[in-house]
Structures are given as structure tokens and as C-alpha cells.
């Protein structure tokens, strides 16, 4: 049986779309069975058009209520949770409920340019300000810290002279789609995400 995947989003949903496309091409042995957003966002359309259960949670709720809502909307038979451009911090109760089953995508080569407040264009501006010749993206497990969990995979992206943060963001995002789909495909082939195998 293929892995049941829940995807959390906050933005344009281009990574969610890349996952749907990879599943439709048969590259990922998985099935997105829930999409969850913490705000009204463009990415919702990809769930709605495919008639995938879609849930909206309110990021402005007090943390304990937010945690309860999140736990309530994640289907019980979820194998893998993907934070694909999800901007809220998941409360510890949620992380503890799914140990080593939540992964996040970050648009830099962690541990560089991670942590609270480092998201979107802020990351790319920091890379350019530091004069780095190379940036990239990272898929990592989510732990109680911000962008501190064990790194699963990374891919480098060159910085070109004359780049502004928007140019760099576009180049990194193209690489993110590939890295995320390849990493999810690899995870879905192995336990505990692949339901045909015994749990490790």
C-alpha cells in the first residue's frame, strides 16, 4: 500500500503541485490524502481541483488550541507529513505525535540561513549580502527547533553575478521541486513510510 501523505502549505503551492505531478507520473509511491493551510493561499487551488480533502487552520489561535486543531485535521492513517512552504511553527505536541515522520523544505543550505524569521526572500537577501557563490535547498526532519532537524538531502544552486533576491529565489525554487520530489520518492520506498514493509 502506498504511503499516505499530508501536505501543509501557506503560499503559492508550487511544491505541492510538483508533488501531485510526480505522483501522477508514478515517480512517488504515495498518495496525498490531505492538504492543510494556515491561511487563505494560492496553493489551495491544487487540492480543490483534485478533490483532495482540504483543511484551513487558523495560525492566529493560541498555541494550545492551534495544536489541537492541527492534530484534529491530520488523518489518523497519515504516514508522512510534508511542510511545503508552511510558515507557521508546528507546536511540540504535533511533532511528538509524529516522530521522524514530518519533513520540511527550506530554501538554503542549512545550517546556513535558517532559524526564526528566515523564510522567503529574507533567506535569498541574506545569501546575496554575504556574497556567497552558492546557495541551495534542504529537506530535513522537523524537530522542536526551527530548521534544526536532521538533514535528509540538500542540493546546491549557483548564485549568478547580477542576481537579485527574486532571481535567486526562482532558481532555488526550481531545484526545490526536484529535491523534494526525489526525497519523498526515496522515503516512500522505505519503512516506516512504505506500508508494505515492517516498521524499522
Active site residues: 106
Nearer to ligand GRF, 120 or 192 (CB): 120
Smallest distance from ligand GRF to CB 174, Å: 10
Smallest distance from ligand GRF to CB 87, Å: 7
Residue nearest to ligand GRF (CB): 85
Question: Strands of 134-141's sheet, edge to edge?
Answer: 54-56, 30-37, 3-9, 80-83, 102-106, 134-141, 151-158
Smallest distance from ligand GRF to CB 107, Å: 4
Nearer to ligand GRF, 20 or 193 (CB): 20
CA dihedral 119, 120, 124, 125 (to 10 degrees): -90
Query: Strands 134-141 and 102-106, how do they pair?
Result: antiparallel
Binding site residues, ligand GRF, CB under 6 A: 9, 11-15, 43, 84-85, 105-107, 119, 173, 176
Q: In whole angstroms, give the CA distance from residue 29 to residue 22.
A: 9
Amino acid at each position: 500500500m502506498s504511503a499516505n501523505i499530508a501536505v501543509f502549505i501557506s503560499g503559492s503551492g508550487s511544491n505541492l503541485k510538483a508533488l501531485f505531478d510526480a505522483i501522477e507520473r508514478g515517480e512517488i509511491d504515495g498518495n496525498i490524502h490531505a492538504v492543510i493551510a494556515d491561511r487563505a493561499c494560492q496553493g489551495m487551488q491544487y487540492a480543490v481541483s483534485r478533490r483532495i480533502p482540504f483543511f484551513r487552520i487558523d495560525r492566529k489561535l493560541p498555541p494550545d488550541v492551534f495544536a489541537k486543531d492541527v492534530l484534529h485535521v491530520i488523518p489518523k492513517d497519515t504516514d508522512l507529513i510534508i511542510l511545503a512552504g508552511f510558515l507557521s511553527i508546528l507546536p511540540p505536541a504535533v511533532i511528538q505525535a509524529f516522530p521522524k515522520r514530518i519533513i520540511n523544505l527550506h530554501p538554503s543550505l542549512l545550517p546556513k540561513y535558517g532559524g526564526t524569521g528566515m523564510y522567503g526572500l529574507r533567506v535569498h537577501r541574506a545569501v546575496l549580502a554575504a556574497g556567497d557563490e552558492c546557495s541551495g535547498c534542504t529537506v530535513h526532519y522537523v524537530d522542536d527547533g526551527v530548521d534544526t532537524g536532521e538533514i535528509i538531502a540538500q542540493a546546491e544552486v549557483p548564485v549568478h553575478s547580477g542576481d537579485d533576491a527574486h532571481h535567486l529565489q526562482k532558481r532555488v525554487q526550481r531545484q526545490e521541486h526536484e529535491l523534494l520530489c526525489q526525497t519523498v520518492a526515496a522515503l516512500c520506498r522505505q519503512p516506516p513510510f512504505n506500508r508494505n514493509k515492517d516498521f524499522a
